[in-house]
A and B are shown apart, each in its own frame.
Chain A
Amino acid sequence: MAKLSDQEVRDLLGGSPDDIGAELASFTDSCEVLSSDRPRLIDTHPMEWVGVFRGHIAGAAADFESLMSQLKTAGAPPAQTIVRFIDNTEKTFIL
């Protein structure tokens, strides 16, 4: 792609660097819930799709589509919600 200038990138991002940094920090906080030991999602939501928004669980469902519906109802924007399947079976990834 043709190299975009800092100003072009700023315009595309649509917010100040500080605001985007704050939003990414909030998303990171949500991801930390996945890494938390208190509680462990593998104990509270085994074999479920879980969505975490602003550090809190915004929805949990047996299938991905149901979770997306729950997030909409809860007002949690999917784009800023971390979504993962909480698998309690051991899987080995060779990527």
Chain B
Amino acid sequence: MFHGRLGNTSKNPYFQGRVLFPRLKIAIKIPPIGEADVSFLADTGADRTLIMPSDFFRFGITLAQLTRKTSMNGVGGQGDGFLEEALVTFSEPGAGLHVYQMDLVIAAPNQAIMQCPSLLGRDIMNRWCLTVDGPRQTVSAKIASSDNFLKFTGKVKENAPLVGVAPPLYRD
């Protein structure tokens, strides 16, 4: 079982995961290009998992590197995008990493969707038992299956602070 979060004002359900594009990953760069952590809005109406522009730009890759054009339909009409092979990883505390191997959709940037969150679609959620508990304000998932499961060993490397990280502007 792992837990998501509800947006502060929207109360929308979100889950955090790591997306890696194997074809585009350049591991020698620091931080590596072609992978990023994403907070996905759980959207049972979305057929596929989708990366929106505000997240796409954090991967350090460019649109010119995407080659497989596709289109998609929503209430806003038809939109353009790209397909890219990806590994999508979720961490279940105390258990391990669940990895999904899939074609991910990347929405072509346009101003109208710039502020939209990336979507977690049914291509992943059909493999979960998802609970959105409105009265208790919690969201959680029991993962029924994944393509790869990498078990935790209990040994975590010391996470050294990065050089030059700014001090926090405030603490809550």
Task: Show the binding face of A for B, using Cβ within 8 Å.
Answer: 1, 3-6, 9-10, 12-14, 16-28, 31-42, 44, 53-60, 64, 68, 73-85, 87, 93-95
Contacts and interface: CB of A to CB of B under 8 A. Distances in A.
Contacts of A53: 165
Interface residues of B, number: 73
B106 to A, nearest CB: 15
B87 to A, nearest CB: 6
Contacts, number: 179
Q: Enumerate the 3 nearest inter-chain pairs by beta-carbon distance, A residue then B residue, closest first.
A: A75-B164, A56-B168, A74-B166
A75 B37 contact: no
Given A24-B16, A68-B57, A74-B165, A1 B103 contact: yes
A18 B153 contact: yes
B158 to A, nearest CB: 10
A2 B116 CA distance: 31
B169 A56 contact: yes
Contact of A28 (B16, B36, B57): B16
Contacts of A83: 54-55, 58
Given A12-B25, A78-B57, A85-B114, 14 more contacts: A3-B147, A4-B87, A4-B148, A14-B32, A20-B97, A24-B91, A44-B170, A53-B165, A56-B170, A58-B165, A64-B57, A74-B166, A93-B116, A95-B41
A80 B36 contact: yes
11 contacts: A6-B150, A10-B150, A16-B155, A18-B155, A18-B156, A64-B57, A75-B163, A75-B165, A79-B58, A80-B31, A81-B58
